[in-house]
A and B are shown apart, each in its own frame.
Chain A
Amino acid sequence: MIFRKLIGHIHDFISSVMQRGPMPSRPVVSFGMKKTAVGVVACVLIGAASLCAQGEQVFKGTVCLGPEGRTPIVKDGQSMLPCTVKHPKMGSKYVLFNSDTKISYKVDGHPKPKAFAGHDVVIIGALDPATGTIHIDDMFTALPQKLVQATSVYIDCDACPRGMSAAWQAAFDELEDWKRFDITPDPKKADVIFVFAANPYLGDYVTRDGPDKRPVNIRITYMNAVDPKTGENLWGDSRDWGSLFVARATRDLIKELKSRLDQESQTDAQSLAARHHASKTLPKTSN
Chain B
Amino acid sequence: MRIFQLLFVVTAASTAAFCSPGGILEKVTKIQVDPTVISHPENVEGTITGDLVRYNLRAAVKDAHFEEGDSPIRAHFVLDKFFSDGGVKKLTSLGTGHSTKTVDGKLVIQDSSGKELASVPIHVHGSVAFGQAQGEDAQGHHATSDFEQRLLKEIEMLK
Q: Which residues of A contact B (CB under 8 A)?
A: 154-166, 168-169, 172-173, 176-177, 183-187, 195, 208, 210-212, 243-244
Contact = CB atoms under 8 A, between A and B. Distances in A.
A163 B132 CA distance: 8
A155 B59 CA distance: 12
Contacts of A154: 140
Contacts of A168: 129-130, 135, 143
Contact of A211 (B62, B95, B97, B138): B138
Nearest to B141: A187
Interface string B122-135: 00000001111001
B58 interface: yes
Contacts of A186: 62, 68
Interface of B: 48, 51-52, 55, 58-59, 62, 68, 94-97, 99, 129-132, 135-141, 143
B80 to A, nearest CB: 21
Contact of A156 (B59, B97, B132, B140): B140
Nearest to A186: B62
Contacts, number: 80
A160 B96 contact: no
Contacts of A177: 48
A194 to B, nearest CB: 10
B139 A166 contact: no
Contacts of B138: 211
A211 B137 contact: yes
Nearest to A176: B48
Given A157-B140, A165-B130, A185 B97 contact: no
A185 B130 CA distance: 11
Contact of A169 (B58, B129, B140, B141): B129
Given A156-B141, A157-B140, A173 B97 contact: no
A177 B46 CA distance: 12
Given A156-B140, A211-B137, A162 B48 contact: no
Given A168-B130, A184-B58, A155 B96 contact: no
B99 A243 contact: no
A183 B48 contact: no
Contacts of A211: 137-139
A165 B144 CA distance: 12
Contacts of B58: 184-185
B140 A165 contact: no
Contacts of A159: 135-136, 139
Contact of B136 (A161, A163, A176, A244): A161
A163 B51 contact: no
A187 to B, nearest CB: 6
Quick one: which of A159, A160, A243, A244 has the most chain B CB within 10 A?
A160
Contacts of A183: 51, 55
Nearest to A245: B95
A261 B135 CA distance: 29
22 contacts: A154-B140, A156-B140, A157-B135, A157-B143, A160-B135, A160-B140, A161-B97, A161-B132, A162-B132, A165-B135, A166-B97, A166-B99, A168-B130, A169-B130, A172-B48, A172-B52, A176-B51, A187-B140, A195-B140, A211-B138, A212-B139, A243-B95
